[in-house]
Amino acid sequence: MDQKKLAIIATKGTLDWAYPPFILASTAAALDYSVEIFFTFYGLQLVRKDLSVLKVSPLGNPGMPMKMPFGPKWFRDINWNIPNAVQAIVPGYESLATVLMKQTIANNGVATIHDLRSMCQEAEVKFIACQMTVELFGFEHSDFIDGMEYGGAASFFEFAGDSDICLYT
Amino acid sequence: MNFDKELDARGLNCPLPILRCKKSLGELTTGQVLKIVATDPGAIKDFEAFSKQTGNELLSSAQAGGEFTFFMKKK
């Protein structure tokens, strides 16, 4: 049986949306797929050396439960409905939400993005960064982790063209 | 059941039990058996799917007291 191929385009640069590409890529690699992720636009943040740039924003995201990852059960069960207007004007709101989200992630035995990314690399998932957006956003290759390749849309299709699964995340 | 290696995946959530399992299987030789203990309720379906797709045989899966125990034979 030929090795199956998974091609992923990663376009989002937030802590929450960093999960789908890395979870699917690492799992597919464990299932013996050959995997390639093409990072473009805000997805470039996922391959930065410094992952502290990844934050989560509850602002304008009505689907995101806001629960506290500490305290007694009755306190943890409260869903804090904080109005958008308040979220928008409180300084550091995103940073606070990110700290709480990271704690929730740890409490639930969910891997960190750093760990998932390392596991992808150990499993030889190929990372390609979109050179056009690297330049557009004023990044240097030194901003990104080692082992990256740089290319454009044509290089994505070279792999995706005969992939079994192709995802846009 | 006899086994050659044990993987403690308690407290880990998707996809970590599968990723650790893959890694542990890599340290075994063909025919050897890996015992996995997990607490992720999604693990039952996931280990069946992992077995089906990779050809490593799932010898048994059992549930007791919120823990799931699997025995997997390396291909």
Q: What is the pLDDT, as a whole number, of residue B39?
A: 96
Please determine, for the modelled complex, whether the ipTM score is greater than 0.90. Answer: no
| B18 contacts A110? CB cut-off 8 A | no
Residue A19 lies in domain: 5-53+112-168
Measured CA to CA, the distance from residue A3 to residue A52 in angstroms comes to 35
Q: What is the pLDDT, as a whole number, of residue A144?
A: 97
Work out how many domains chain A is built from and give that number. 1
Confidence of residue A62 (pLDDT cuts 50, 70, 90): confident
Mean pLDDT computed over B44-61: 95
Whichever domain contains A36, its CATH number is 3.40.1260.10
Q: What residues 14-73 of chain B have any CB closer than 8 A to a CB of chain A?
A: 14-16, 18-19, 21-22, 40, 50, 53-54
Q: Would you tell me how many other CB atoms lie within 10 Å of the CB of residue B31?
A: 10
Would residue A34 count as lying in a domain?
A: yes
Residue B52 lies in domain: 5-73
Would residue A149 count as lying in a domain?
A: yes
Would residue A107 count as lying in a domain?
A: no
pTM of the model: 0.90
| B40 contacts A119? CB cut-off 8 A | no
Q: Would you tell me how many other CB atoms lie within 10 Å of the CB of residue A119?
A: 24
pLDDT tens digits along A112-165: 999 999 999 999 999 999 999 999 999 999 999 999 999 999 999 999 999 999
Does residue B12 belong to the interface with chain A, where contact is any CB pair within 8 Å? yes
Confidence of residue A1 (pLDDT cuts 50, 70, 90): low
Mean pLDDT computed over A80-103: 92
Whether omega before A21 lies within 30 degrees of 0, making that bond cis, reads no
Mean pLDDT computed over A95-114: 94
